[in-house]
Structure 1
């Protein structure tokens, strides 16, 4: 179940910290009855960032596999030769 607290509850920082630490997920802070921002434990945030990074990596791998299957690739020596000629190296 999501945890929501009004922004005024943040005045008691120790109690608010306990709320965030004991919540099963992110804590939504509301202002005037509307969502203002979300607070979460550092471990949860880092895990979320790891999952996002994995998703970006998997998307790039899938794109590379499609490009390879379509023949849109260069082998390393040909690529390096094209870089050298393009940049006068």
Structure 2
């Protein structure tokens, strides 16, 4: 469940840090009742960026497959051996 706190609570930095690390989810900060910022632990950020990167690469691979821009494993290995003179 997302945690939402008002911006005035940012003065409690150790509390907010504990919230971020205990839930592994972002904490949403509001200003005048509207969403303003998001705070999260470095671990959660890195995990989310990794997942985003994997999803992006999978989407690129699926697009390449649909365009026919791929080659079989045997052909790829053969080309690599020629390139590396193996």
Once superposed, which parts of structure 1, at least 4 consecutive aligned residues long, lie more than 6 Å away? none
Find out whether 1:56 has 2:53 as its counterpart. Answer: no
Gap runs ≥5 in structure 2: 70-86
* Structure label with greater radius of gyration: 1
Instruction: Give RMSD over aligned pairs.
Output: 2.2
Contact 2:3 2:27 in 1 (8 A): yes
Instruction: Tell me the distance in 2 between the aligned counterparts of 1:24 and 1:43.
Output: 8
TM-score (norm 2): 0.70
Moved more, 8-17 or 50-59: 8-17
The 1-side partners of 2:24 and 2:47 are apart by 14
Structure-2 change in CA distance of 1:56 and 1:24 (3 Å): closer
Q: 1:57 to 1:24 in 2, by over 3 A?
A: closer
* Unaligned residue ranges in structure 1 (runs of 5+): 70-89
The number of equivalent residue pairs is 71
TM-score when scaled to structure 1?
0.68
